[in-house]
């Protein structure tokens, strides 16, 4: 049970951070967004767009938040996406204020480990681009919020009856389609493949795997040619057509593709089956716990909005803020 709670706390806190990033896929330039620096940036530090429990946050503070959560592409986001990010920014600051009031602090180890991980992730050697500049103070605040949320979610639990009820109501989601386990020998020429196929006629699995290890140029050759398990639609059409008509233990004729010339063997066929409750339980628990976490966080944020001293001034944002229609 302790392991389950730790898992819930970690995943649920991370889910809130993911929520902040969800809108960042909406692209293309929000008119009026200005990221200029220098004297203009200094003046914009006096443009207050959010106040929470006596702490004021400026346009520049919000732009730092955008850089951290949406990366350099934040400047290309549409006004709708920026508006939702501003809403999440306000929510995060409410949570931060409550976390501070509850004396939630980070250890040096927690801060250092996360910053090292973040700096490593921000460096992409293949591009040759310099790593992103990380606002350590803002990252620290984000971690404080995550730690507070983990505490909030510490008592979250899920009854076995809820899992069973979900399973009974969504059994169609746990139907496993017909699958086949397939192996192959991949060769460079049709002549090579035809010769090898003729030699393998009547051969069993071990002879096929030995030939795959010795002659196949597929990356799976060291595993005796074992490609894996596939359901309909997971293989290229020309290969699927050759594989799914085979009987267990049967080899295909030589099949040409852009990769070369294949000899397939159908090792095993798995008929359509319904996953048992025990098999489906891990996925169901993860789904239901995630839903409960999101609902608990949303309710808590609404409580903070109703009880804390805060206000926003979105008309001062450098883009046309779009309110959510009620």
> What's the confidence (pLDDT) of residue 39?
46
Residue 41: the pLDDT is 56
pLDDT tens by residue, the chain, 326 residues: 444 444 544 544 444 444 444 443 444 445 445 544 444 556 677 899 999 999 999 999 999 999 888 888 899 999 999 999 999 999 999 999 999 999 999 888 888 888 787 777 655 455 455 555 667 788 889 899 999 999 999 989 999 999 999 999 999 999 989 999 999 999 999 999 999 999 999 899 999 999 999 999 999 999 999 999 999 999 999 899 999 999 999 999 999 999 999 999 999 999 999 999 999 999 999 999 999 999 999 999 999 999 999 999 999 999 999 998 76
Selected from 3.90.230.10, 2.60.40.10, 1.10.4030.10, 3.20.20.370, the CATH number assigned to the domain covering 2-160+279-316 reads 1.10.4030.10
Q: How far apart (Å, rounded) are the C-alpha atoms in residues 56 and 37?
A: 20
Class of the CATH domain delimited by 178-271: alpha beta
DSSP track, 68-123: HHHGGGGGG--HHHHHHHHHHHHHHHHHHHHHHHTT----HHHHHHHHHHHHHHT-
Return d(Cα 148, Cα 108) in angstroms, integer.
16
Q: Sign of the C-alpha dihedral, residues 117, 122, 128, 133?
A: negative
Give the global pTM: 0.65
User: What percent of the chain shows pLDDT beyond 70?
Assistant: 82
Digit-coded pLDDT (tens) for 144-169: 999 999 999 998 999 999 999 999 99
The C-alpha atoms of residue 85 and residue 237 are separated, in whole angstroms, by: 42
State the residue for tokens 């294949």: 262
* Cα gap 143→137, rounded to integer Å: 10
3-state secondary structure (DSSP) of residue 132: coil
Domain ranges of the chain: 2-160+279-316, 178-271
CA distance 281 to 277: 6
Rg of the chain on CA atoms, in Å: 28
Report d(CA 262, CA 268) in Å as an integer: 18
Alpha helices in the chain (DSSP H): 2-21, 38-44, 59-70, 79-101, 108-121, 136-152, 160-169, 190-200, 205-215, 237-243, 277-307
Q: How far apart are CA 150 and CA 147, in angstroms?
A: 5
Q: How many CB atoms lie within 10 A of CB 153?
A: 23
Tokens found for residue 76 = 């290309």
Edge-to-edge, what's the strand order for the sheet holding 226-231?
226-231, 179-187, 260-270, 255-257
Beta-carbon contacts of residue 293 (< 8 Å; ≥ 6 apart) = 8, 11, 12, 15, 153, 156
């Amino acid at each position: 049970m302790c392991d389950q709670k730790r898992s819930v706390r970690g995943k649920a806190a991370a889910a809130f951070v993911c929520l902040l990033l969800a809108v960042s896929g909406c692209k293309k330039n929000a008119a009026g967004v200005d990221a200029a620096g220098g004297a203009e940036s200094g003046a914009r530090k006096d443009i207050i767009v959010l106040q929470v429990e006596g702490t004021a946050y400026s346009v520049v503070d919000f732009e730092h938040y955008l850089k951290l959560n949406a990366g350099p592409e934040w400047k290309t986001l549409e006004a709708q996406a920026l508006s939702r990010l501003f809403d999440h920014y306000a929510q995060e600051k409410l949570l931060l204020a409550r976390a501070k009031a509850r004396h939630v602090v980070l250890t040096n180890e927690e801060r250092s480990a996360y910053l090292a991980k973040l700096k490593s992730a921000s460096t992409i050697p293949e591009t040759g681009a310099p790593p992103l500049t990380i606002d350590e103070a803002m990252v620290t605040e984000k971690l404080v919020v995550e730690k507070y949320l983990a505490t909030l979610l510490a008592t979250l639990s899920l009854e076995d009856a809820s899992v069973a009820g979900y399973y009974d109501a969504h059994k169609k989601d746990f139907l496993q389609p017909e699958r086949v386990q397939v192996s192959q020998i991949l060769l460079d020429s049709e002549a090579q493949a035809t010769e090898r196929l003729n030699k393998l006629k009547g051969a069993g699995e071990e002879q096929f795997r030995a030939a795959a290890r010795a002659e196949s140029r597929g990356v799976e050759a060291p595993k005796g040619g074992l490609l894996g398990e596939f359901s309909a639609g997971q293989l290229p059409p020309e290969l699927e057509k050759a594989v799914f008509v085979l009987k267990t233990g049967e080899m295909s004729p030589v099949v040409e593709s852009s990769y070369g010339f294949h000899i397939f063997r159908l090792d095993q066929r798995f008929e359509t089956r319904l996953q048992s409750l025990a098999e489906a339980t891990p996925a169901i628990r993860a789904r239901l716990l995630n839903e409960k976490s999101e609902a608990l966080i949303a309710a808590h944020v609404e409580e903070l909005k109703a009880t804390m001293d805060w206000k926003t001034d979105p008309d001062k944002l450098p883009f046309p803020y779009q309110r959510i229609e009620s």
